[in-house]
Structure 1
Amino acid sequence: MSRSLKAATAVGALLLATACGSSGTPSSAGGFNPPDLEAQKKLGKTEGKVNLIAWAGYVEDGSNDPKVNWVSDFEKQTGCQVSTKTAATSDEMVSLMKSGQYDAVSASGDASLRLIASGDAAPVNTKLVPNYKDVFAGLKNQDWNSVDGVPYGIPHGRGANLLMYNTKKVTPAPDSWSAVFDNASAHKGKVTAYDSPIYIADAALYLMKTKPSLGIKNPYALDQKQFDAAVQLLKEQNANIGEYWGDYLKEISAFKSGNSVVGTAWQVIVNAAQAEKAPVKAVLPKEGATGWSDTWMISAKAKHPNCAYKWMDWIISPKANAQVAEYFGEAPSNAKSCALTSVKDHCATYHAADEPYWKKVHFWTTPVPQCLDGRKDTKCVPYSKWVQAWTEIKG
C-alpha cells in the first residue's frame, strides 16, 4: 500500500485513467479484423536501447525511490538502456504510438484494440517470451490482448473496480451497484464515480443483470438501444454525484473527510484509505464488476524490437513482476511472483490466483462497431460515441 502511494506521489498523483480490458471470455473479437501483420519469428542481436511508453510506476529505475528499481538489473543483463515516456491517459498512449518513436507500450484495454486496428501494434510471438508460460491462464487470449487467437501483447497485471463505502454512513452494508444507481439518492451529493467514458460499461453491467429485457451480453458491446439505456442511467445518477474522480489520492481524501461515502474504487485505494483510518470497506457486488488488465504491446514500427521482447519477458519475470505489482497496487500476471512479494499476503489481498473471482470481472476493452458479443446482425456503438456521451452525462 505505502509503495503504491509513493508511486502515485512520485508523478504528482497517479491518474486512474490507467488500466483497461474486456469481458473475461476467450476472444474472437466478434468479427474484428486487424491489418495483416506478422509476429517476429526469432530474436536477433539486441540493439542497445528500448523506448517505452508506460503508466507511472511501471518502469522504475530508482530515480523516484532508490529502493524501487527493477530497470537497472535489466539494463545490466541485456545491455538494453531503457528510456521511458510516462503517459497520463490511454489517448496519449495511442497518439505516442502512432509517432513510431517508441518500441513498446503498457496499453490498457481502452487503447489496445485501437492500436491493433490501426496497425500500430504488431502480433506477439509468445515463444520469444519464456516467462509467458507462467502467466495466469485467465489473462491469456482475452478480448483486450488477442484477436481470433492471435496474441497482441503480454499481460502485465490486473485489478477489479470495487464498490467502496463508508461503514458509518452506508448501512446496511451494500452488496449491489444499486447503491450508486437506483438507490443513489440516499446519499445525494456524496456518491462518487470514475471519471472516464469507459464508466458507461459499469452502468451497462448493472443493466445487464437488472434489466435482462435489454439483452446486454457484454457491457462493451452495446447496440444503440442498450447504449441509450446505459447513458440514461448515468444521467440520472449524475444528480447524486458529489464528484467524479480520476486521481486516487483525491478519492482517499474524499472518503476520509466524508465528502464521498460510496462509489467505485480499486483495492489499493481501499487499503490506503483503511490505513489512514477512514471507516471504509469494499465489496465485489453481486452483479460482478468491471476491471482492468494492462498489456505490454510491441510497436509495428519498433526500431529496437529485440530489446522490446527482452523487456516484455523481464517485466513479467517473477521478481520484477512481484515488485511492480506491489509498487503499483495490483495483482501480478506471473503466478510465480506471489512467492516473491515482500508483503506475503499481497496476492491473497489482490485475488491474484483466484480465478473464480476474476470470472466475475468484465475487463475494460475498446468498444468497436463490430459487436464484441458476436452479434453479426447489428452494429455496436464505438468508443468515439462513448466519449461524446460522457460529456453529455457530466453536463
Structure 2
Amino acid sequence: MHLNRALQVTAAASSLLLVSGCGLFSDSTASTAGFNPPNIKMQSELGPAEGQVNLIAWAGYVEDGSNDPKVDWVTPFEKETGCQVKAKVAASSDEMVKLMKTGAYDAVSASGDASLRLIAGGEVAPVNTDLIPNYEDVFFGLKKQSWNSVNGKMYGVPHGRGANLLMYNTKEVSPAPLSWSAVFDDASKYKGHVTAYDSPIYIADAALYLRETRPGLHIQNPYALDQQQFDAAVDLLKAQRANVGEYWSDYLKEISAFKSGDTVIGTTWQVIANLAESEGAKVKAVLPQEGATGWSDTWMLSAKAKHPNCAYKWMNWIISPKVNAEVAEYFGEAPSNIKSCDETSDPAFCDTFHATDENYWKDVAFWTTPIEQCLDGRTDVKCVPYAKWVQAWTEIKG
C-alpha cells in the first residue's frame, strides 16, 4: 500500500510524537566499567578537506553506482566535499580489525563484535559528535551504548541496526515456533536441516537462550559470561552441532538453502527473510519470546587517519536523512537517523524494519565484543574474552 505525500508527512509527524514518548529521545546509560582504553585525543575542530578518504565497509555500505547505476551515494559526496572515496569491502569483522591495524584506512563500518577490540587496541579515536551535525537526529537507542562508547565518549556514529531472527519453513515446521528452543533443545526434530550464523559471536545466542531457560546460571548479559556461564553456552552449541546442516555467513547461500529445503529453520536477518519470500520460499521470520541478539554498525575513525577531516565529512554524510534512508533500503536494515523514515522510497519500510519501535529493540541484545571486564558490571569475577570465544567456536564446529 502506498501513501500519498501528504499522508506520509502526517504519518511521519505522528510517528515522531509517538517515539519521543517512548524513550527514543531519553539518554542512554551503557556501562563499560573497568575498561580503560588508550588515551587518544579527540579532534576539536575540522580543518580543510584532504581530498581523499579511505574506508573499510560491509558490502552495500559504500555504493558508487558501479554495482547498480541507480545506487550511488558516493558520487554526490565527492562532488559536495571534494573528498574522493576509496573503499575496501571486508567479508568479516576479523578482517576489518586486521585491516585497521595497518593504519592505511581512515574509517570503518565496524559491527559490535569488532568495535571494542578496535577501541582497546588504540586503533580508533573518540569522535567529536559536535563536528557531525546529523548526529543530533540519531536514535538515542543507538547513542552511548556498550558497543560504541566508553565512559561517555562516543567512538563513532551509528549507521543502522538489525535483529538476528528465527526463520522457518512454514510447510515443514509446525506448529509455528515461538522460542529458540526450536534450534536448541528441540533441534533434533529437524536434524540436518538446522542452520546457524557462522561466527564466534553466535555463542551469545546460546547464552541469551540460557538466560531465560536456566536462571540458575544468573546470566544477565549474553556478552558478559564468566567461565561457568560460558561453558554452559558452549555445551549447548556442541549439542546443537549434531543437528546443524550448515552454518551460514553468505546470505545468498542461506536463501538458496531455504528455497531448496536443505534448511528449514535457523537464524536470519529481516532482509534475508524478505528476499527469500520474494523468491518463492515458504518462510516466515519471528522475534522469539526470549528476545534475540542483533547488530548495530558504527562508523569509527582511525586513530592513525591520514584524512580525518574527510572522514568526519563522510560520517556526517552517511547518517544524513536521505543517504541513510538509501543505505538502509539497499542493505536491508533499520536506519540510524530518525528523519530517514521520511525519505525511504517505500513508505512502509521503517515499519517493516521496526525502525521507530523502541520496545522491539529492548528485546534485542546487540553484538558487543566480550572482554575480561564483565560488561554486566560484575567485579568479583573475570569474564571470558573474545579470543577464547574464537577458540571455542573452532571446537564447536569441529
Q: Which residue of structure 1 aligns with residue 350 of structure 2? A: 347
- Secondary structure of 1:93's counterpart equals helix
Q: Does 1:132 align with 2:135?
A: yes
Q: Which amino acid aligns with 1:130?
A: P
**Pairs within 5 Å for 1:326-341:** 326-341=329-344
User: What residue is the counterpart of 2:171 in the other structure?
Assistant: 168
Letter in 1 for 2:307: H
Distance 2:177 2:45 in 1: 52
Q: 2:254 aligns to what?
A: 251
Matched, 1:142 2:148: no
Determine the C-alpha separation between the residues in 2 that align with 1:80 and 1:385: 40
State yes or no: 1:152 paired with 2:175: no
- Contact kept, 8 Å, 2:224 with 2:384, in 1: the verdict is yes
Contact 2:132 2:312 in 1 (8 A): yes
Aligned to 2:86: 83
Q: Which AA in structure 1 matches 2:202?
A: Y
Give me the identity figure in percent: 76
1:236-295, CA deviations, whole angstroms, 9 ceiling, x for partnerless residues? 001111111111111111111111111000000110111111111111000000000000
Distance in 1 between the 2:126 and 2:287 partners?
A: 33
SS at match of 1:338: helix
Tell me if the contact between 1:25 and 1:143 (Cα under 8 Å) persists in the aligned partners: no
Counterpart residue type for residue 182 of structure 1: D
Q: What letter corresponds to residue 295 of structure 2 in structure 1? A: W
Distance 1:99 1:264 in 2: 33
Instruction: Tell me the secondary structure at the aligned position of residue 285 of structure 2.
Output: strand
Summarize deviations over 1:122-181 as a string: whole Å, max 9, x none.
000000000001101100000010011110010000000000011111111110000000
Considering Cα pairs closer than 8 Å and 6+ residues apart, tell me whether 1 or 2 has the greater RCO. Answer: 1
Q: Which amino acid aligns with 1:179?
A: A
TM-score, with structure 1 as normaliser: 0.93
CA shift for structure 1 position 25: 6.9
| Partner residue in 1 for 2:23 | none
* Partner SS state of residue 29, structure 1: coil
Whether 2:284 is the aligned partner of 1:281: answer yes
Q: Please give the secondary structure, in 1, of the residue aligned with 2:33.
A: helix
> Which of 54, 59, 68 does residue 71 from structure 2 map onto?
68
Matched with 1:119 is 122
The answer for the alignment partner of 2:229 in structure 1 is 226
Output the CA distance in 1 between the equivalents of 2:188 and 2:121.
43
Secondary structure of the corresponding residue to residue 189 of structure 1? coil
* 1:54 pairs with 2:57: yes
CA drift of 1:26 comes to 3.0
- Give ranges in structure 1 of 5+ residues lacking alignment: 1-23
Render the CA deviation track for 1:55-76: whole Å, top value 9, x for unaligned: 1110001111111000111111
| Alignment deviations for residues 299-341 of structure 1 (CA, whole Å, 9 cap, x no partner) | 1111111100000000000011011101111110001111111
- Code of the aligned partner of 2:130: K
Correspondence 1:214 to 2:214: no
Secondary structure of the equivalent of 1:30? coil
The question of whether the paired residues in 1 share the 8 Å contact of 2:324 and 2:336 is answered with yes
Corresponding residue number in structure 2 for 1:237: 240
Distance in 1, Cα, partners of 2:248 & 2:121? 30
1:97 counterpart = 2:100 = yes
SS in 1 for 2:125: coil
Q: Quote the residue 2:32 is aligned against.
A: 29
Count matched residues.
Answer: 372
Pick the aligned partner of 1:369 from 367, 372, 388: 372
Task: Output the amino acid matched with 1:194.
Answer: Y
Provide the residue aligned with 2:14 in structure 1. Answer: none
Matched residues in 1 for 2:103 and 2:237: separation? 38
* Counterpart residue identity of residue 192, structure 1: T
Per-residue deviation, 1:185: 0.7
In 1, Cα distance between equivalents of 2:183 and 2:277: 21
Q: Distance in 1 between matches of 2:200 and 2:333?
A: 22
Q: Is the 8 A contact 2:28 2:143 kept in 1?
A: no
Supply the distance in 1 between the matched residues of 2:218 and 2:278 (Cα, whole angstroms).
41
SS at match of 2:204: helix
Q: Secondary structure at the match of 2:162?
A: strand
Tell me the equivalent position of 1:11: none
Q: Is the 8 A contact 1:164 1:280 kept in 2?
A: yes
Q: Does 1:357 align with 2:372?
A: no
| Matched letter for residue 373 of structure 1 | D
Contact 1:123 1:153 in 2 (8 A): yes
Identify the residue that residue 197 of structure 2 maps to in structure 1. Answer: 194
Structure 2: unaligned runs, 5 residues or longer: 1-26
Q: What letter is aligned with 1:218? A: N
CA distance in 2, matches of 1:25, 1:174: 33
Give the secondary-structure state (helix, strand or coil) at the position aligned to 2:36: coil
Of 303, 321, 324, the match for 1:300: 303
Distance 1:156 1:347 in 2: 15
